[in-house]
Amino acid sequence: MVLIFVCLLLPCFVLSSEHNLTIDEDFEIEKQLKLLNKPAIKTIVENEDIFDCVDINKQPAFDHPSLKDHQIQLRPSSLPVGLFDNDMIKSSSRIKSMEVGLHESCPSGTVPIKRVEKEQLIGMRSSFKQYKIRPSSSSNVNDDASTTQRWATIHTPYKPYHQFWYYGASGLMGIYGFPGMQDTQFSSSGFWIANDDDLGHINHIVVGWAVDPKYNGDKNSRLMAGWTCDDFKSTGCMNNACPGFVQVSKDTPLGIAISPVSTYNGTQRDIELFVFRDPTTLNWWFLCGPDKKLVGYWPNDLFTTLAQYGTRLEFGGTAEYIGNSVFPPMGSGHFPYEGYSKSCLFQKVKYIDGDSRSDDLPLLEGTPRSDSPCYKAGDFTGSDNANNYFYFGGPGGIDC
Ligand SMILES: *[C@@H]1O[C@H](CO)[C@@H](O)[C@H](O)[C@H]1NC(C)=O
Ligand SMILES: *[C@@H]1O[C@H](CO)[C@@H](O)[C@H](O)[C@H]1NC(C)=O
């Protein structure tokens, strides 16, 4: 009897002293892990990453209370008009959109889900506002005095001067790596679609790439995507840390490492990402790469205000640190004035309107904004026969 008691308690005791978790917290985390990591039909290991091929109909998304009776959608009812157009006319040698994907696909009927490790869930309790990437326009960005997050972005006009509804966005952004980044730093580039019509229900979707050693246990640049329907107060998360996103791609999981990356003054590599609301099912689709590969979607039922449309778009980067650290590099780690192949280029900045048409974001509708001397967003510029673009980022440092 005594022996059993010790054996049962020992693992808990060891873990709780190692991570300073109480027995209750440890139990909660174990429960969550079990829920997130579904039984694998096959496991794919790439580099050090583990991807479980799980039954597409039993993936973690369907544990979300709003998705109990969700009818899975395997492809969009239609694609936005103009999504594939202009590319031929406007393509230039500067555009090298990378394919992202596992070398091996999951078997038919299954989808890859990056396995969530216990360390990640523990790390999320303390790191980076629990790994929730808000746009700079978030109303409660500064509600937490301990936060040290900065942005360099272009954003669409603020209300009440601007009444326009967005049904999607896309962009082609440079991707870089930060091998020297510290475990206490976080850097990410991408874009947000937000609806803050109702301040109690600020909804956003964010997609891009991120370097997040604390969460990932390494310094790889990874595909990231997140959602919330209350500005991350109690709903939503990044990647597969909570139920919500429905994975349909058999070879492009959220959180996949992207390599190789661009080199300063050398070969530039970009990823093109697309998000749009399906005009029929109203689900928000996420596509990636030159072939517009379907990654998956956020069911409409997850949202309140975004269930209808977005009111604001924001494109660029964000950087953060915790504890005794300094701000990390953002973009390429170099300021916009350095220009092509040195600063991070964000181009083909597009939006999707209520008629499901994809079009270039007009130059007058992208205002640069940065809230720190350590990062800048350059002018949003372009011409009729070239893609619109801007540069963003900076080195980070102490006095940011
Ligand atoms: C656990 O708590 C002790 C004392 O509060 C602290 O020194 C230690 O760094 C903590 N360990 C971890 C892993 O957080
Ligand atoms: C960039 O590369 C060019 C050609 O390789 C070289 O001449 C130049 O000095 C480099 N500039 C910087 C800032 O590294």
Q: What is the pLDDT of residues 279-309, one digit of tens each?
A: 999 999 999 998 899 999 999 999 999 999 9
Span 50-73, mean pLDDT? 95
Given a cut of 80, is residue 163 above it in pLDDT? Answer: no
In terms of pLDDT, which residue wins out, 350 or 149? 350
- Say if residues 254 and 223 touch (Cβ distance below 8 Å): yes
Burial class of residue 291, CB neighbours in 10 A (0-12, 13-18, 19+)? exposed
Please give the pLDDT value at position 3: 41
- Nearest to residue 102, comparing CAs of 151, 47, 140, 148? 47
Q: Give me the numbers of helices (H) and strands (E) for the chain, helices first please.
A: 6, 19
- d(C-alpha 61, C-alpha 225), whole Å: 14
Joined together, the tokens standing for residue 367 give 């205002």
∠ at Cα 52 (105, 303), nearest 5°? Answer: 95
Q: Whose CA is nearest to atom 10 of ligand 1?
A: 20
Q: Which ligand is in closest contact with the Cα of 265? A: 2
Ligand nearest the Cα of residue 22 is 1
Residue 20 near ligand 1, beta carbon < 6 Å: yes
pLDDT above 80: residue 334: yes
What spacing in Å lies between the alpha carbon of 367 and ligand 2's midpoint? 31
Model pLDDT for residues 258-280, shown as the tens digit of each residue:
999 999 999 999 999 999 999 99
Give me the pLDDT at residue 215, please: 82
Within 36-138, strands assigned E span: 42-46, 49-55, 110-114
Cα of 35 vs centre of ligand 1, distance in Å, is 28
pLDDT at 108 over 60: yes
Average pLDDT over residues 331-356: 96
pLDDT value at residue 147: 58
Provide the pLDDT for residue 10: 43
What is the Cα–Cα distance from 207 to 193, expressed in whole angstroms?
9
Closest ligand to C-alpha of residue 263 is 2
Cα 166 to ligand 1 centroid, rounded to whole Å: 46
Cα 340 to averaged position of ligand 2 atoms, centre (Å)? 12
Residue 265 Cα to ligand 2 midpoint, Å, equals 6
Average pLDDT value for residue range 202-213: 94
| 237 pLDDT higher than 50 | yes
The least confident of 19-33, 66-80, 109-123, 200-214 is 19-33
Where is average pLDDT lowest: 1-10, 24-33, 118-127, 234-243? Answer: 1-10
